[in-house]
Amino acid sequence: QVQLVESGGGVVQPGRSLRLSCAASGFTFSTYGMHWVRQAPGKGLEWMAGISYDGTSKYYVDSVKGRFTISRDNSKNTLYLQMNSLRVEDTAVYYCAKDSVGSNFGFDYWGQGTLVTVSS
């Protein structure tokens, strides 16, 4: 069965960096686009970044452009989110999510999320 397992969250000071990972299994990782979605405490969902199946196309929400980088290693079935210059407002649960069949049709599987807390 499809599994997405995030890791790498934790408490970090403002201005520091953190790298999240999402280990995928149960499907052919290299053929699906992948995404990061975050949810601040008590708030709604915010799409952060997406990457094409082969890693050649990457997309970001404006608020993280230049600070966050999405990447993938298809040989390791792993998705990454490098987060630099973290801000207090980046505090959230970060989910990785898999494109449904074909891109543009939503996300059919999600990880359980990893909590990132940015605080001094």
Partner 1 sequence: EIVLTQSPDTLSLSPGERAILSCRASQSVSSYYLTWYQQKPGQAPRLLIYSASNRATGVPDRFSGSGSGTDFTLTISRLEPEDFAVYYCQQCATSTYNFGQGTKLEIK
- Which parts of the chain are beta strand (E)? 3-7, 10-12, 18-25, 34-39, 45-51, 58-60, 68-73, 78-83, 92-99, 107-110, 114-118
Q: Which is nearer to partner 1, 30 or 100 (CB)?
A: 100
CB of 50 to partner 1, least distance (A): 7
71 near partner 1 (CB under 8 A): no
Residues in region 74-113 near partner 1 by CB under 8 A: 95, 100, 103-108, 110-113
Which of 46, 67, 69, 91 touches partner 1 (CB under 8 A)? Answer: 46
**Separation CA 62–CA 78 (nearest Å):** 24
**Site for partner 1, rule CB under 8 A:** 35, 37, 44-47, 50, 59-61, 95, 100, 103-108, 110-113
